[in-house]
Amino acid sequence: MPEPVGFFTDTSICIGCKACEVACKEWNQLPGNTPKFGDGFDNTGQLDAENYRHVKFVDLVGDTPIVTGNGNAWLMMSDICKHCTNASCLEVCPTNAIVRTEYNTVLIQQDACNGCRDCISACPFGAIGFSESSGTARKCTMCYDRLQANMQPACAKACPTQSIQYGTLSQLHQKADARLAALKKQGYDNAQLYGRDDSIYGGLGAFFLLMNKPEVYGLPNKDNAVLPRRNNRMGYFGGFVTAAIGIVAGLVAFRSRADAPPAKGAEPPASAP
Amino acid sequence: MTNHWRDIKNADVIMINGANPAEAHPVGFQWFMKAKLDPTKGPGSGGGAKLIHADPRFSRTSAVSDMYLRIRTGTDVAYFGGLINYVIQNNKYHDEYVKNYTNASFIINKDYKFKDGLFSGYDAKKRTYAVETWAYDNEPGPDKYAKRDESLKDPHCVFQLIKNHYSRYTPEMVQTITGIPKEDFLKVAQIVGEMGRPDKVMTIVYAVGLTHHTTGSQLIRSAAVLQLLLGNIGRPGGGMNAERGHANIQGNTDNAISWEILPGYLKVPLPGQKTIEDYVKVSASKRLLGISWNFFGTNYKKFIVSLLKTWYGDSANKSNDFAFSYLPKPAGNSSWMTIYDQALQGKMEGVMLSGMTAASIGPDSNQVLTALSKLKWLAVMDPFPTTSSEFWHASGLNPADVQTEVFMLPTTHWIEKDGSFVNSGRWMQWKDQVIPPVGDSRHDHWIVAELFHRVKALYQKDGGKFPDPIVHLTMDYKDPLKPSLDEIAREVNGKDLKTGKRLATFAKLMDDGTTTSGNWIYVGSYPEKGNMAKRRKGVQDPAKNDPTGMGFYPEWAWTWPLNRRILYNRASADMSGKPWDPKRAGIAWNGSKWVGDVPDYPPKMNPKDPKAWLPFTMNGEGVARLFASSMLDGPIPEHYEPVESPVKNALHPDMSASPTAFLYDKAAKRENRFGTPDEYPIIATTYRLTEHEHYVTQQVPHLVQLQPEPFVEIPTALANERGVKTGDMVRVRSKRGKIEVRAVVTNRVGQLDLGGKKVYQVGIPIHWGYVGIAAEMHPEKSKFWMANNLTPFVGDANSRTPEFKAFLVQIEKLA
C-alpha cells in the first residue's frame, strides 16, 4: 500500500487564476458548465459533476486607499472534494460504488454507481454532482489514473504558485505547520489549518490553510461538522442541514459580498503587520 | 526585461506599477511568490520580499501583495517622482553608483530650462521640441567629450537638475496628484529608501499599464531614474522589467514589428539619407567620453551592412553601397494609429491583418471601423473569424453601405507550427509542432512568401518604377514558397560568407560585405553547433545546470545578446569589479577574467586599468542616463495629465496634458472626440483578465465558461449613488462610444481624494466583442461589448502608443 496522499491548499498564496479548474477539466475530459455570468470573477459557482475544482472568491476589501493583501483581503480558495477520513458519501452509498482507494482517497467507481444521489445529499461540502450525460454521481478522483502512473494530479501540476500542493499527507502536514507558524509570526491571527487534524470529519485528505474562519469560505466549522452515517439518522439529518446551511451561507456570502460590509462572521483583514 | 523572470526571486522589494502579473503572467508570478516566501529576502532583516502594488484596481496581484496603494491611473510619474525626491532629499541614493555609473556628473547646456510645464525649445504650433538646449556641454578639443563635475555640485550638472526638478514632488504633491495619502506614500518611501544600500536590491515590474498613456515613455523612464539612483540596474534582483505580451511580443519587437526600427533596434532610415554613411552618422551614438566603449555606435555600420547582405545577397555590394537605396526612407511614421488615420483620410487602399484584430484592439473602435469601411479591400490572416473579418456586423455600420471586400485567409495556430517564442526575459525558446494544421489553413509566413513571389513575378513581367528592392530580395530556402522556420532562424543568425559557416558572436560581423545577419542581437542563437534555443538543461540538475545558484541556467535555451541573462551586468559590481552584494553576484572580476553571468563587458578587461571601459557599454556616454536628450517629450520625466482628465495638472494647471501628445483628429482636422469632466466625470481604465488572452480565447469553451460576459468594476459608493447592484446591466459611455455590460460592484475600485476633489475610477476588461462563443449566445447584447469603443484616439509623442488606460466616462443603469 502506498502512503496516504492528499492535497494541501494554501489559500494565502492563491492568485485565483483557475488553472486548476481548466487543467482538471482537460485531464478528466469534462465539458464544463454552460457559460453564465456569476459575479465577474466566480462564474463557475459550485463544485459539481462538470467542475471538480472551483475557485471561491470572498471579497473583504475595504474602501480604503491602502490595503494589505497577503491572501487576507480578497480571499481565494481552490475548493475540491475533501477526501474525508470519515466520508459520509462512502457510508451512505447503497451499491458500494464509493470506495477508499489504495492511496487513501475516496473514489466513485462509475461502473458501479446506480445514480441514486444519496451521496450528493450526504456530502457536507456539496462536492458531488449528478451528471445527466452519464447518469452517475461524479466528483474529484484525485486523478486516480494519474496516481497509478506515478503522476501528480492535474490541478496541482498546473498551479503556478504552488498554492495547491500534492504529496504524502505526512509531508504535507509538516509543510502546512511551517507555513501556519510563519503566518502567525507575521500577525495573521485568523490563519488556521482546516482538516489538518481529525476535528473535521476525522481529518481531510484535501486540507487547507485558511486566512479566515471556515464559515467565511462557506465551510462547516468544527462545531457543526457532525458525521452522518446510515445508522445515525440524526447525524444524517444534521449533515443535510449542515450542507444546506453551508450552501445558503455560501450563497449569502457570495451575493452580499458586493455590498460593503463583510460577510457575517468574517473578521476584517488584519492591519498591515 | 533587463533581467528575467526567474531572477525576480532574488529581489528584496518588488514594486509593481502598471502591471498585474498574477493575472497576466501567472506562471512567471511563481518567482514573485518564491521571493515573498524566502525568509532571507526582504527589506531590513529579511522575512521575505515585500510586494508593493500601486494600481487603480485592487487585482489578484494586490490580493497577495504586502501593500496595495490605490493610485489614479496615469499618475505614476508623480509617484516615482515623489520617491526620487525622497531618495535624493534623504541621501538614500547609492552614491558611488550614481557618481560613476550614471550621467549625474555631466554638465548640460546652460540654456536648458524647465518652466511652467515646458522644457526649453518648445514649438507650440508643431507641438514638438527642438532639443539643442538639452545637449551636454563639451570639453574643448577635437573629440568634443562631455564636460563633467564629479563633485555633482555644478548647478548645470544632471544631478542638480534632477534634484531641482523633483523638489516639487513633495509627499503632499504626490497625494494631490495620485490620490495616495501622504502617510501611506511615506511608508513606501521608507522601504524604497533602504533599497539604495549595496546589500539590498529592488526590482520594478511594469507592463502596458505604464505604456498605454500619452506619457507612457516618461512613466517608464521615471521608474528607471529611481532604479539608477538606487543603483539597482544591472544587478540580480534589480532592473526594469517589462512584462511582455504572450507569447512572443519580445521576439516581435526584436525583429522590427514596430514602425520606427529595423531588426535589432537599428533605426529606420530618414528621407535625405542617401548613403550608409549619412544613415550611420545620424543614427549611431557618438563616443562622449574617452573611456566609453560606445559599442553600439561604433559597430552600427557592421550591423546594417550585414542586414542588407542578408536581405539582398549578391545584389548588395560595395559598388552600390550595399543596396542601401533599396530601403524605404519614410517621411511620416506608420504607427498603428497612423495606419487607420490614413485610411480615414481615404489614403489607404487595402490592409492585411495578421495575428491581431484591428477592430477590437482600438483605440476608438468606432473610428477604426469607419476606417476599415473606407478600404477597398481587407485581408485577415487568422485561425478564427475575428471582429475584423466580420467587421460589417458591428453596431453603427450598415452592412449594405460597407463596400470593403474582405478576404479571410485561414492560418495555422501557433500550436500547429514549430518555431521560437522569445519571452519577456529575452529567452529564445524553440517549440515543436504539436498537432498538424487543420483543413486548408496555412502558416502566415507561407502566405506572405507566396504573396511575395506573385508580386515579384508581376514586377518581373511588367517592370515598374523601382523593381530592384523586390526582384533582388533573397529567398534562399529549399522551397521559397514554403520556407521552414528552421531555415529562417539560421538566416537570422547569419554567417561568414568567406567560409560559409554560421557565426557564434556579433563581434565577428563586418562592414565590408563579408558577413550576413538578419538581426545582429540574435547572432549566436544558431551557430554551427546547432539551434541554441532548443537547449533544455534545467531543474533536472540545479547544482550542475545553475552553477552560480543565481538562476541563470546558462544552458537552458538562449538569451540575446550572447546568452547574457542580465543586461548591463557590469554595473552589478563596483569600480574594482567586486559585486555590490557578494551574495547576489551578477559578474565578478577574479583577477584575470569576469565570472558569473555572460559579462556585458570585454571578458578579460581589467577594471583597475585606468583605461577600462565604463559599465554601460552600449551608450555613447558609457554610463546610464538620468537625463536623456533622446526623448521627444523632455529629458526629465514630468507629470502630465491624461488627455481626458477630471482635474488640472497640480504642478502647472496651464500646461495640464502632455504638450507633445499626438492629437490625430486635430491634425487631420476631424471633429473633436475628447470629452469634458462635466459630461463624463468618471475616470476609466481598461485591463485584461487572467482567463482570456485578448480576443482569440473567445473561441475556447473552457475559458468562456470561466469568463462568459463583459463587465465593468464599479466602486460600491458610486454604485449606491446610481442604484446599481452586481449583475445589473449598465451603459458606460465616453465621447466616442458606449458599451452595455454587467456591473460588478466592489471596493476593489474606489474613490480618490485629489486635493479635496473626489473622483471615482472604474475598470473595464477588454476581451469581448461581437465574435466568439459568448457573442453567439447573446447576438443582440454583444453588439455593445467592445471596450475600445470608449478609448481615445491619441498617442504618446515617442512611441505613438494610444492612451488605453486613462479616459473619462459616464455610467447609467439600464432598465
**B180 within domain boundaries:** yes
Q: What is the pLDDT of residue A239?
A: 61
The pLDDT, as a whole number, for residue B371 is: 97
Tell me, yes or no, whether B216 and B315 share the same domain: no
CB B371 within 8 A of CB B338: no
CA distance A69 to chain B (A): 4
Check CB contact of A28 with chain B, cutoff 8 Å. Answer: no
Please tell me whether residues B282 and B400 are part of one structural domain: no
| CA distance, residue B709 to nearest chain A CA (Å) | 6
Going along B535-582, which residue ranges are E strands?
Answer: 558-559
- Model pLDDT for residues A141-200, shown as the tens digit of each residue: 999 999 999 999 999 999 999 999 999 999 999 999 999 999 999 999 999 999 999 999
pLDDT for position A271 = 43
Is B290 or A257 the better-scoring residue by pLDDT? B290
Q: What percent of chain B has pLDDT over 70?
A: 100
Q: Which residue in A has a C-alpha nearest to residue B61's C-alpha?
A: A15
Choose from B705, B749, B752, B777 for mutation: most chain A CBs within 10 A: B705
Chain A: closest CA distance from residue B62 (Å):
6
Q: pLDDT tens-digit profile of B539-585?
A: 999 999 999 999 999 999 999 999 999 999 999 999 999 999 999 99
Q: How confident is residue A273, by pLDDT bands cut at 50, 70 and 90?
A: very low
| Chain B residues touching residue A35 (CB < 8 angstroms) | 704-705, 708-709, 773-774, 777
CATH number at B73 reads: 3.40.228.10
Range of the domain at B362: 336-418+441-462
Residues of A in contact with B697 (CB under 8 A): none
Whether residue B507 lies inside any domain: the answer is yes
Name the percent of chain B lying above pLDDT 90: 98
Mean pLDDT across A240-250? 71
B117, part of any domain: no
Mutation pick from A60, A67, A76, A164 vs chain B, by most beta carbons of B within 10 Å, is A67
Is the Cβ pair A160, B29 closer than 8 Å? yes
Beta bridge mates, A48 = A51
Q: Which of A32, A34, A69 sits opposite B66 (nearest CB)?
A: A69
CB of A29 within 8 Å of a chain B CB? The answer is no
pLDDT digits (tens, 9 = 90+) for B301-357: 999 999 999 999 999 999 999 999 999 999 988 999 999 999 999 999 999 999 999
> Is residue B161 situated within a structural domain?
no
Distance to chain A for B58, nearest Cα, Å: 8
Q: What pLDDT does residue A1 have?
A: 75
The rounded distance, in Å, linking the Cα atoms of B505 and B109 is 39
* CB nearest to B706's CB, from A21, A63, A74: A21
Q: What is the nearest CA distance from A90 to chain B, expressed in angstroms?
A: 30
B386 and B694 in contact (C-beta within 8 Å)? no
Q: Using the predicted structure, report yes or no on whether residue A230 has a pLDDT greater than 70.
A: no
Of the three residues B247, B269, B286, the one that is the final residue of a domain is B247
Report yes or no: A261 at the B interface, CB cutoff 8 Å: no
Query: Looking at residue B449, what is its pLDDT?
Result: 97
Mean pLDDT, residues B763-785 taken together: 97
B258: how many CB neighbours lie within 10 A of its CB?
Answer: 17
Mutate to test the interface with B, among A11, A12, A17 (most CBs of B within 10 A): A17
Residues of B in contact with A65 (CB under 8 A): 69-70, 179-181, 184, 750, 752-753
Q: Is the pLDDT of residue A270 over 50?
A: no
pLDDT at position A235: 53
A157 touching B (Cβ < 8 Å): no
Where do the H-state alpha helices sit in B352-427?
Answer: 358-361, 365-373
- Looking at every residue in chain B, the average pLDDT score rounds to 97
Q: Is the pLDDT score of B194 beyond 60?
A: yes
pLDDT over threshold 50, residue A260: no
Q: If pLDDT is split at 50, 70 and 90, which confidence band does A250 have?
A: low
Verify that B340 and B325 share a domain, yes or no.
no
- Could you please state the CATH topology (level 3) that the domain comprising A5-256 is classified under: Alpha-Beta Plaits (3.30.70)
CB pairs under 8 A between A and B: 160
Contact A87, A106 (CB under 8 A): yes
Task: Report if residue B538 sits inside a domain.
Answer: no
Q: Which residues of A touch B707 (CB under 8 A)?
A: 43
Residue A196: HSE in the Cβ half-sphere, 13 Å Cα cutoff: 22
Put simply, the answer to whether B64 touches A15 (Cβ < 8 Å) is yes
pLDDT tens digits, one per residue of A13-44: 999 999 999 999 999 999 999 999 999 999 99
Show contacts of B389-394: CB within 8 Å, 24+ apart.
B389/B357, B390/B770, B390/B771, B391/B359, B393/B770, B394/B359, B394/B365, B394/B369, B394/B770, B394/B783, B394/B786
State the nearest Cα–Cα gap between A88 and chain B, in angstroms: 30
Question: What's the length of chain A?
Answer: 273
C-alpha cell at B495: 554567417
pLDDT digits (tens, 9 = 90+) for B91-104: 999 999 999 999 99
Residues of A whose CB is below 8 A from B33: 13, 161-162
- Determine the pLDDT at residue A261: 44
**DSSP state letter for B641:** B
Residues of B in contact with A63 (CB under 8 A): 715-717, 747, 750-751
Please check whether residue B221 lies inside any domain of the structure.
yes
Which is it for strands B128-129 and B587-589: parallel, antiparallel or unpaired?
unpaired
CATH number of B359's domain: 3.40.50.740
- Predicted pLDDT at A264: 46
Name chain B contacts of A41, Cβ cutoff 8 Å.
744
> How near does any CA of chain A get to the CA of B541, in Å?
19
Please list every residue in chain B whose beta carbon sits closer than 8 Å to the beta carbon of residue A16: 22, 60, 63, 690
Band of residue A236 on the pLDDT scale cut at 50, 70, 90: low
**Residue B625 maps to a domain:** no
Task: Say if residue B690 is in the same domain as residue B790.
Answer: yes
Count of the separate structural domains present in chain B: 4
| A-chain residues near B190 (CB < 8 A) | none
Within 8 A of A36 by CB-CB distance, chain B residues are 708
For residue B219, give the nearest of B210, B228, B227 by alpha carbon: B210
The residue of B689, B729, B746 whose CB has the most chain A CBs within 10 angstroms, and thus the best one to mutate to test that interface, is B746
Interface test with B, best of A161, A179, A252 (most B CBs within 10 A): A161
Q: Checking phi first, is residue B669 left (phi over 0); if not, alpha (psi -120 to 50) or beta? A: left
CA closest to A17 among chain B residues: B690
B727 plus B808 within the same structural domain: yes
Q: Point out the residue among A44, A69, A259 whose CB comes nearest to the CB of B63.
A: A69
Asked whether B511 and B302 are in contact (CB, 8 A), the reply is yes
Q: Is the dihedral of CA B212, B217, B218, B219 positive or negative?
A: positive
Torsion of CA B312, B318, B320, B321, to 10 degrees: 90
pLDDT average, residue stretch B626-650: 98
Instruction: Check A37 against B717: CB less than 8 A apart.
Output: no
Please give the pLDDT value at position B46.
Answer: 85
Contact B70/A66, CB-based, under 8 Å? yes
How far, in Å, CA of A69 to CA of A14, rounded?
11
Which of B578, B789, B536 has the alpha carbon at shortest distance from B686?
Answer: B789
Kindly state whether A16 is in contact with chain B, defined as any CB-CB distance less than 8 angstroms: yes
Cβ contacts (< 8 Å) between B744 and chain A: which residues?
39-41, 258
Mutate to test the interface with B, among A37, A54, A175 (most CBs of B within 10 A): A37
Report if residue B284 sits inside a domain: yes
pLDDT tens by residue, B22-56 = 999 999 999 999 999 999 999 988 889 999 999 99
Closest Cβ opposite residue A61 in set B30, B184, B746: B746
Report how far residue B545's alpha carbon sits from residue B540's, in angstroms, rounded to the nearest whole number: 8
For B66, the closest of A35, A41, A70 (CB atoms) is A70
Interface test with B, best of A15, A44, A57, A257 (most B CBs within 10 A): A15
pLDDT band at B193 (very low <50, low <70, confident <90, very high): very high
What integer pLDDT is reported at residue A252 of this predicted model?
64
Over residues B427-439, the mean pLDDT reads: 96
pLDDT of residue A237: 62
Q: What is the pLDDT of residue A262?
A: 44
List all residues of chain A from 178 to 207 with a beta carbon under 8 Å from chain B: 182, 186
At B525, is the pLDDT very low, low, confident or very high (cuts 50, 70, 90)? very high
Alpha-carbon gap: B70 to the closest alpha carbon of chain A (Å): 5
Encode B642-675 in three state secondary structure: CCCCCCCCCCCCCCCECCCCEEHHHHCCCCCCCC
Reply yes or no on whether the pLDDT at B721 is more than 90.
yes
Question: For position B797, what pLDDT does the model report?
Answer: 95
| Domain final residue, candidates B483, B510, B525 | B525
What are the cell numbers at A75? 480571499
ipTM of the complex: 0.94
Q: What is the CA radius of gyration of chain A?
A: 18
CATH (domain of B671): 2.40.40.20
List the single residue in A with minimal CA-CA distance to B692: A17
Residues of A in contact with B180 (CB under 8 A): 65-66
B63 vs A71: CB contact, 8 Å cut-off?
yes
**How many angstroms separate the Cα of B194 from the Cα of each of A8, B85, B87, B94, B186?**
36, 14, 9, 10, 13
Provide the residue ranges of all domains of chain A, joining segments of one domain with +.
5-256
